[in-house]
Structure 1
Amino acid sequence: MTLKLPLLRLVCLAATLCLSAQSLAAEQRNYRDHTMSEDSLTVQTSEGEVTLTPVGPSALSVHYRREGLKQLPSFALATNSAGRSEATLEQQGDKLVYRTGSLTAVIHKSPFRIEYLRGSEQILSEESGFFATETMRGFRFALSPEEKLLGGGERVMGMDRRGQRLPLYNRAHYGYTTESNQMYFSLPAVLSSNKYILLFDNSATGTLDLGANEEDILQFEAVAGRTAYIVVAGETYPQLLENYVSTTGKQPLPPRWVLGNFASRFGYHSEAEVRATVDKFAEEDFPLDALVLDLYWFGPDIKGHMGNLAWDKEAFPEPEKMMADLKKRGINTILVTEPFVLSTSERWQEAVANNALAKNLAEEPKRFDFYFGNTGLIDVFSEDGRDWFWNIYDGLLEQGVAGWWGDLGEPEVHPSDTVHAIGMADEIHNAFGHAWAQLLHERQTAKHPERRPFIMMRAGFAGSQRYGMIPWTGDVAREWGGLQPQVELALSMGLLGFGYTHSDLGGFAGGEKFDRELYIRWLQYGVFQPVYRPHAQEHIASEPVFHDRRTRDILREYVKLRYRLLPYNYTLAFENSQTGMPLMRPLFFENESDLSLLDYKDAYLWGQDFLVAPVVEEDVDEVAVKLPGGTWFDYWTDEQYSGDQALVEVNLKTIPVLVRAGAIIPTIDDVHSSRDYSSKNLTLDYYAHPSAAKSERYVYEDDGATAQAFEKGKYEKLHFSADNKQQGLAFVFNREGAGYTGMPESRTVTLKIHNWQQVPVQLDISGESLPIFDSEKDFAQAPRGAWYNKRKQQLLVKFDWHKEPLDLVLKNQ
């Protein structure tokens, strides 16, 4: 250890000297000429060519080219980047001013340098800008003194990553807990408190230095790759994120069943075990939508079979019938696949014969050893590799597989001398999972355009969300330290387009014995994260149905709550597909003037109306929760909180879940799986408060399966608005859309008004009076009417809603 620190200092000194020399060289870079086309501005400099291309609303791609530097295609940019703005160019003395949307690039001619303005405000500036040496290429930007930098992908180091040096190399971190600067999914991008996103469009092995070596410099370094970056600006953080996903691609709306409960472990060994497991879920009255099969589906052992990619018929004698039977019960089958083909596997010779594998320097299939055996790696960048891999997936789809779990796709082991169709391993390592997801999404969509793919992977690149990639946070330790960073990881990824980032609920790795409290707390949090998927090594069951009665009874209610909230959660998924807004949202989205909230990771917003603070320590009976302003209600008790902080009491059955004043929360009746979803009986919980006099909300619905249902008009939006005045309350119910198959022709709506102080003197719906009952029993038996629960201070109103608009008016004394 004593030898490493001086060596590290020498390396850093050498790099600094090298870059200082490069900075001096950059001072010699001068403008020579420029040409402007309909699509871009190209500037000739003394060192090469720079092209600025509008790629989205208030977004620019900036590509530096120098003779002799190999360039790769962009992986980050969506080919159909939406909402591109027309650009204008103005010459102002020794500057060129290039405007697109609210983003302006000011190009200084001598020395050559680009700064970026939002309106008239500078948000970002190149320092020396582009540099290239014999072993390194990258960019240098100046940082403002108080600027905070978030993002960089999966890291456990706090939300603000300024002052850190981040490795850009997707790498597994088995059993991580409360610290990790390098994990499965790195992203060469940051979101700044100055409301810009800076993305380096380079897939090569590299480093992102956020003021670590030089406190006022952001430096991107890579060993090779595309010498380009993308700048995105926005007036607000949500608008910034929307502009970003308009540039890199929006996440398609997944099937509705993805929001249900998953049965998953490492792993189910046989068809008999699968059937017994789903029977146990039914017996214990736990809804279930998906079952995930880990690597035992293609072999009886952990090692030696990877690459078979075909059913082990000893353990799974009738897979098609098994999957069809599960489907009849509303359960979708997901299979794990990996990009490695072991030389001992049944498909090795087939993969070699079909030219599907990456090569060594002698242009032969590259072989190397890793945990699972001696292996090759499918080249997802080559047409032959993609064709061979897809043919296997295509056959499994025909058998009834509903979704894919792509594992080890960093790739977990990726020797530097591996040759791919478009470059060496270190040039494209970070884009491997991206290209794999692209293969699955594009091929499946081409063959089954009506179906929504499910693609869960643990590694990718900026823009992978446009291929439907659903990331998870890898092999987290099954301990309290593993639970504690999960909000940080999900929020950090959501800021850069990956709104479905989630964890193995309960923890995956290790754990000597079952920790009931930890397990319950993790699965309680899971109700308010994007994918509800307990998963773990099998020596401790990951499924709640295999634990003690108390654990089952507590978690059964949480899983059922997850299903009751499907109208709310599915609407969040729809919003994500339209705007990139993540399902889990940081509190600073709510109060952008409070910069301290940028560092806050103990609580988050679940959609617009829930504020959730997971319990991440044992033996806790109260939790301090920051509030972003306004009034909030305890979801379990209706207790009110306001100010800067709430001290929320909890027991083993509850975690802090607060609801915004003015919220209208939609829920449905209990179902056994999302296949049975229906909003025919719709409950709307309205949280009345004088501080939120007016409210507008909506629920998005379609058939839960048809691809691009919204774009095809096959949807319905249910709109609700409330106007809370001293003399009473007025609701308006409306709808839009042509409808969808299975849509209710009418709905029975139960409106539950919280925090209501008195029985109304009159209640009208579209001009017709509704009866007000004195007893709950009479109310329950009547098809329509109202009842006031004095003890809970809640007014319940029940009525039928057909397709026409409705007005509901409640008058006080």
Structure 2
Amino acid sequence: MILKLFLLRLLCLAAALCLSTQSSASEQRIYRDHKMSEDSLTVQTSEGEVTLTPVGPSALSVHYRRKGLKQLPSFALTPNPAIRPKATLEQQGDKLAYRTGSLTAVIHKSPFRIEYLRGEEQILSEESGFFSTETLRGFRFALSPEEKLLGGGERVLGMDRRGQRLPLYNRAHYGYTTESNQMYFSLPAVLSSNKYILLFDNSATGTLDLGANEEDVLQFEAVAGRTAYIVVAGETYPQLLENYVSTTGKQPLPPRWALGNFASRFGYHSEAEVRATVDKFAEEDFPLDALVLDLYWFGPDIKGHMGNLAWDKEAFPEPEKMMADLKARGINTILVTEPFVLSTSERWQEAVAQNALAKNLAGEPKRFDFYFGNTGLIDVFSEEGRNWFWNIYDGLLEQGVSGWWGDLGEPEVHPADTVHAIGMADEVHNAYGHAWAQLLHQRQTAKYPERRPFIMMRAGFAGSQRYGMIPWTGDVAREWGGLQPQVELALSMGLLGFGYTHSDLGGFAGGEKFDRELYIRWLQYGVFQPVYRPHAQEHIASEPVFHDRRTRDILREYVKLRYRLLPYNYTLAFENSQTGMPLMRPLFFENETDLSLLDYKDAYLWGKDFLVAPVVEADVDEVAVKLPGGTWFDYWTDEQHSGDQALVEVDLKTIPVLVRAGAIISTIDEIHSSRDYSSKNLTLDYYAHETAANSERYVYEDDGATAQAFEKGKYEKLYFSAQRKQQGLTFNFKREGEGYTGMPESRAVTLKIHNWQQAPAQLAINGESLPIFNSEKEFNRASRGAWYHKRNQMLRVKFDWHQDLLDLAFKNP
């Protein structure tokens, strides 16, 4: 009996010791003291210190520190914020209220707990808050009953991820279709229907449990890493996103050619094949801005050459001349690079000698086998690794390379016993692609400050957008199931700062034979997504120019439409660089009261004025599209739709594309490359409707290449506004900015007024009458004037606009 009592006491003592090491129950943590500084608030507790730092508009970083617990630097926070927000502190009895912007952290002293208010409304609260065991560390938050949680990075699970347990480990998912819990680009962050973003600033291997194990608890777990999180609040979803990117960094404006058409496949084997492909685009009258070279540029085979990172001169005998010739045709060369250096590659000994590779536990270069061969991994966290890698990139830039494609950057294979300069593989795995993009962006902009980098990568971390990272959704299956999740993936990433997320158009992996309908539908959707890049395994051509005449004829018009829309699309890119608004936007941004729209992923807003619903099934002749409110016009037919839903008829030549009533859509004439871009001839399509009495839009213009053109004043903004009045319609035109090299001195404007019921009785510019023609023939011959197309209910007006203010007035009969 005595022995049994003794053993029972030992068990109780062991349980108590176990609980003390976990140290996370809120009743065990109490407030001791606090200290307010100009930049932060530090609270001493019974278990260590907690520092709250304002890091953006209505944003706080909360860092729990305990003695002996290793910390890593923040990867998520922008290192040099434009403005350092201030905060105030108020004592409220047994609580502290720490306020920045509209966000208040209410610190309960005993038991210690932090809750967050937007104004007076609670939006988030720690449950037991921080926890740490010998093998796990993380945080627990309480969830409200009806709360929806979006984000978490690339997943195919539906927009609302509540109830899911999400692995936080960037990992390739080859040939995915309609379901994936773990993919190339995980993000330890969620956007809540309560209008907050919660980001865990920890790059280690972990899990994000969104009410899966306990329905009212959000739990973040990681095997190591920084014990910090960031809370961002906003009054609206767009404001919330803007506050978030002000905290984690804004995506710089890419070069304009990034919005053009790409030739890409796995892959072009030789210079001769490159030149023949480019010639085929020209022969078939397809505009082209970039050509992407996959791994054959540095070796003749898939395996055995990764890490050479130098031209295979057998296949590419004159790469500098080839790239110069392409550039003369307005085509930019993009090279794939990977972070692996095979032990069979030509640079292995050089990489070892220059200490560029991650180590094993014995301090030697870590070697391991994967699909491409026996390899080492460049340590992008070490100065030696960064220097060695950058010197290669710099040499290629000098040869004429225009952009980078960083592949396999999860990294695709990353043994846990790999030692990096700042920690083990599992501590930094999810930040590897982030550090790689940072290296490229910072080094390139330091040496070439006038150039905008192009950096396309498959994996990264929260905040990678500030280094210009353009993600794609990986090796998607070439089937309908691969097309179906692409809107969900792009929208989910865009909610957390990655507004250029796009897919391999047409699908990448597999496919036994060419599916014309699938291919056409995917490339039609591509016109209204951030990067137009068909890419696939080469047994079926990824480029439209190599397919049958009907396919070419349909897609030629879509690619040309993409180029005509460059003023609109480039303005979306500019807005993203200023506010973080993604180019593809969910419908709930438009109607925040309809919570059902948070789950909707069948259609999206392309900027402010287009609503697009890709066709993602075969043999479809009608598509039901949810509407966020208001009146919308069919872009192809001008048919009007309003209410909660539109039934849109389609054939193989069309997908549902709707335009908002009151929109003013800007387009240019046809061009063959964005190098030839000019808004000298500018067309404005105005969609008149009685529900949109006042409209204002603008177009952002610069030279398309100069870094920070807007900040330097080297830009022009063209503003257009329309006011419907009982007696007619008035347009106002104005501009701002100091201008840019190549800016038109004047513009020939064609204004198309859709849904207009009658010809005007009078028409004047700045008080001077314009002629109104009775026939289209007369109108086409004239340089200025108007013509009304009665059957189409469209009024067309032509005039010249110099840099002065301009008023255009219509009077009804």
Q: Same fold (TM over 0.5)?
A: yes
Question: Equivalents in 2 of 1:158, 1:358: separation in Å?
Answer: 37
Once the 2 structures are TM-superposed, how far is the Cα of residue 82 of structure 1 from its aligned partner?
A: 3.5
| Secondary structure at 2:159 match in 1 | coil
Once the 2 structures are TM-superposed, how far is the Cα of residue 318 of structure 1 from its aligned partner?
A: 0.1
Residue by residue, what CA displacement relative to the aligned partner does 1:681-721 show, whole Å, maximum 9, x if unpaired? 00000000000000000000000000000000000000000
| Secondary structure at 2:2 match in 1 | coil
CA contact (8 A) 2:139 2:221 kept: yes
Q: 1:110 to 1:388 in 2, by over 3 A?
A: same
| Secondary structure at 2:316 match in 1 | coil
Question: Equivalents in 1 of 2:465, 2:408: separation in Å?
Answer: 18
Identify the residue that residue 456 of structure 2 maps to in structure 1. Answer: 456
Q: 1:24 to 1:274 in 2, by over 3 A?
A: closer
Once the 2 structures are TM-superposed, how far is the Cα of residue 564 of structure 1 from its aligned partner?
A: 0.1
Q: 1:140 to 1:784 in 2, by over 3 A?
A: same
Once the 2 structures are TM-superposed, how far is the Cα of residue 9 of structure 1 from its aligned partner?
A: 28
Unaligned runs of 5+ in 1: none
Once the 2 structures are TM-superposed, how far is the Cα of residue 652 of structure 1 from its aligned partner?
A: 0.1
Q: Could you say what the CA RMSD is over the residues aligned between the two structures, in angstroms?
A: 4.1
Q: 1:448 to 1:685 in 2, by over 3 A?
A: same
CA contact (8 A) 1:249 1:463 kept: yes
Q: 1:667 to 1:73 in 2, by over 3 A?
A: same
Question: Equivalents in 2 of 1:720, 1:317: separation in Å?
Answer: 51
CA contact (8 A) 1:722 1:730 kept: yes
Once the 2 structures are TM-superposed, how far is the Cα of residue 21 of structure 1 from its aligned partner?
A: 8.7
Residue by residue, what CA displacement relative to the aligned partner does 1:354-405 show, whole Å, maximum 9, x if unpaired? 0000000000000000000000000000000000000000000000000000
Q: 1:8 to 1:442 in 2, by over 3 A?
A: farther
Question: Equivalents in 1 of 2:5, 2:754: separation in Å?
Answer: 61
Question: Equivalents in 1 of 2:559, 2:287: separation in Å?
Answer: 7
Q: 1:601 to 1:794 in 2, by over 3 A?
A: same
Question: Equivalents in 2 of 1:736, 1:244: separation in Å?
Answer: 28
TM-score, with structure 1 as normaliser: 0.98
| Secondary structure at 1:682 match in 2 | strand
Once the 2 structures are TM-superposed, how far is the Cα of residue 20 of structure 1 from its aligned partner?
A: 11
Residue by residue, what CA displacement relative to the aligned partner does 1:470-498 show, whole Å, maximum 9, x if unpaired? 00000000000000000000000000000
Q: 1:19 to 1:432 in 2, by over 3 A?
A: farther
CA contact (8 A) 1:82 1:247 kept: no
Once the 2 structures are TM-superposed, how far is the Cα of residue 13 of structure 1 from its aligned partner?
A: 21
CA contact (8 A) 2:21 2:132 kept: no
| Secondary structure at 1:576 match in 2 | helix
Q: 1:3 to 1:639 in 2, by over 3 A?
A: farther
Question: Which segment drifts farther, 23-32 or 577-586?
Answer: 23-32
Question: Equivalents in 2 of 1:626, 1:13: separation in Å?
Answer: 60
CA contact (8 A) 2:21 2:133 kept: no
Q: 1:224 to 1:781 in 2, by over 3 A?
A: same
CA contact (8 A) 1:204 1:224 kept: yes
Is 1:481 aligned to residue 481 of structure 2? yes
Once the 2 structures are TM-superposed, how far is the Cα of residue 84 of structure 1 from its aligned partner?
A: 3.4
Identify the residue that residue 490 of structure 1 maps to in structure 2. Answer: 490
Once the 2 structures are TM-superposed, how far is the Cα of residue 86 of structure 1 from its aligned partner?
A: 1.3
Question: Equivalents in 1 of 2:682, 2:18: separation in Å?
Answer: 66
Pairs aligned (count): 813
CA contact (8 A) 1:168 1:188 kept: yes
Identify the residue that residue 116 of structure 1 maps to in structure 2. Answer: 116
Residue by residue, what CA displacement relative to the aligned partner does 1:329-376 show, whole Å, maximum 9, x if unpaired? 000000000000000000000000000000000000000000000000
Question: Equivalents in 1 of 2:16, 2:537: separation in Å?
Answer: 45
Residue by residue, what CA displacement relative to the aligned partner does 1:497-534 show, whole Å, maximum 9, x if unpaired? 00000000000000000000000000000000000000
Once the 2 structures are TM-superposed, how far is the Cα of residue 554 of structure 1 from its aligned partner?
A: 0.0
Question: Equivalents in 1 of 2:541, 2:12: separation in Å?
Answer: 47
CA contact (8 A) 2:24 2:130 kept: no
CA contact (8 A) 1:83 1:246 kept: no
CA contact (8 A) 2:24 2:131 kept: no
Question: Equivalents in 2 of 1:75, 1:453: separation in Å?
Answer: 20
Residue by residue, what CA displacement relative to the aligned partner does 1:217-267 show, whole Å, maximum 9, x if unpaired? 000000000000000000000000000000000000000000000000000
Once the 2 structures are TM-superposed, how far is the Cα of residue 203 of structure 1 from its aligned partner?
A: 0.1
Residue by residue, what CA displacement relative to the aligned partner does 1:532-568 show, whole Å, maximum 9, x if unpaired? 0000000000000000000000000000000000000
Q: 1:309 to 1:21 in 2, by over 3 A?
A: closer
Is 1:219 aligned to residue 219 of structure 2? yes
Identify the residue that residue 510 of structure 1 maps to in structure 2. Answer: 510
Question: Equivalents in 2 of 1:5, 1:76: separation in Å?
Answer: 52
Identify the residue that residue 720 of structure 1 maps to in structure 2. Answer: 720
Residue by residue, what CA displacement relative to the aligned partner does 1:285-316 show, whole Å, maximum 9, x if unpaired? 00000000000000000000000000000000
Once the 2 structures are TM-superposed, how far is the Cα of residue 791 of structure 1 from its aligned partner?
A: 1.3
Q: 1:266 to 1:8 in 2, by over 3 A?
A: farther
Q: 1:212 to 1:530 in 2, by over 3 A?
A: same
CA contact (8 A) 1:603 1:611 kept: yes
Once the 2 structures are TM-superposed, how far is the Cα of residue 83 of structure 1 from its aligned partner?
A: 3.7
CA contact (8 A) 2:457 2:470 kept: yes
Matches within 5 A, 1:226-265: 226-265=226-265
CA contact (8 A) 1:56 1:82 kept: no
Question: Which segment drifts farther, 77-86 or 715-724?
Answer: 77-86
Residue by residue, what CA displacement relative to the aligned partner does 1:397-455 show, whole Å, maximum 9, x if unpaired? 00000000000000000000000000000000000000000000000000000000000
CA contact (8 A) 1:699 1:717 kept: yes
Question: Equivalents in 2 of 1:247, 1:605: separation in Å?
Answer: 25
Once the 2 structures are TM-superposed, how far is the Cα of residue 14 of structure 1 from its aligned partner?
A: 15
Once the 2 structures are TM-superposed, how far is the Cα of residue 26 of structure 1 from its aligned partner?
A: 3.2
Q: 1:520 to 1:24 in 2, by over 3 A?
A: closer
CA contact (8 A) 1:23 1:128 kept: no
Question: Equivalents in 2 of 1:238, 1:792: separation in Å?
Answer: 36
CA contact (8 A) 2:261 2:288 kept: yes
Question: Equivalents in 1 of 2:297, 2:339: separation in Å?
Answer: 16
CA contact (8 A) 1:35 1:42 kept: yes
| Secondary structure at 1:107 match in 2 | strand
Question: Equivalents in 2 of 1:726, 1:133: separation in Å?
Answer: 72
Q: 1:144 to 1:518 in 2, by over 3 A?
A: same
Q: 1:325 to 1:2 in 2, by over 3 A?
A: farther
Question: Equivalents in 2 of 1:485, 1:40: separation in Å?
Answer: 42
Q: 1:116 to 1:5 in 2, by over 3 A?
A: farther
Residue by residue, what CA displacement relative to the aligned partner does 1:317-336 show, whole Å, maximum 9, x if unpaired? 00000000000000000000
Question: Which segment drifts farther, 13-22 or 35-44?
Answer: 13-22
Once the 2 structures are TM-superposed, how far is the Cα of residue 11 of structure 1 from its aligned partner?
A: 21
Once the 2 structures are TM-superposed, how far is the Cα of residue 80 of structure 1 from its aligned partner?
A: 1.6
Q: 1:788 to 1:3 in 2, by over 3 A?
A: farther
| Secondary structure at 1:333 match in 2 | strand
Once the 2 structures are TM-superposed, how far is the Cα of residue 725 of structure 1 from its aligned partner?
A: 1.9
Once the 2 structures are TM-superposed, how far is the Cα of residue 3 of structure 1 from its aligned partner?
A: 37
Question: Equivalents in 1 of 2:25, 2:556: separation in Å?
Answer: 65
| Secondary structure at 1:20 match in 2 | helix
Once the 2 structures are TM-superposed, how far is the Cα of residue 732 of structure 1 from its aligned partner?
A: 0.1
Question: Percent identity between the aligned chains?
Answer: 91
Q: 1:93 to 1:771 in 2, by over 3 A?
A: same
Question: Which segment drifts farther, 80-89 or 376-385?
Answer: 80-89
CA contact (8 A) 1:747 1:802 kept: yes
Q: 1:232 to 1:3 in 2, by over 3 A?
A: farther
CA contact (8 A) 2:25 2:128 kept: no
| Secondary structure at 1:459 match in 2 | coil
Q: 1:8 to 1:412 in 2, by over 3 A?
A: farther
Identify the residue that residue 370 of structure 1 maps to in structure 2. Answer: 370
| Secondary structure at 2:465 match in 1 | helix
Q: 1:572 to 1:5 in 2, by over 3 A?
A: farther
Once the 2 structures are TM-superposed, how far is the Cα of residue 81 of structure 1 from its aligned partner?
A: 2.3
TM-score, with structure 2 as normaliser: 0.98
Q: 1:680 to 1:92 in 2, by over 3 A?
A: same
Identify the residue that residue 419 of structure 2 maps to in structure 1. Answer: 419
| Secondary structure at 2:617 match in 1 | coil
CA contact (8 A) 2:26 2:113 kept: no
Q: 1:420 to 1:11 in 2, by over 3 A?
A: farther
Question: Equivalents in 1 of 2:796, 2:8: separation in Å?
Answer: 68
Identify the residue that residue 324 of structure 1 maps to in structure 2. Answer: 324
Identify the residue that residue 430 of structure 2 maps to in structure 1. Answer: 430
| Secondary structure at 1:3 match in 2 | helix
Q: 1:34 to 1:672 in 2, by over 3 A?
A: same
Question: Equivalents in 1 of 2:4, 2:693: separation in Å?
Answer: 63
Question: Which segment drifts farther, 761-770 or 7-16?
Answer: 7-16
Q: 1:776 to 1:15 in 2, by over 3 A?
A: farther
Once the 2 structures are TM-superposed, how far is the Cα of residue 5 of structure 1 from its aligned partner?
A: 36
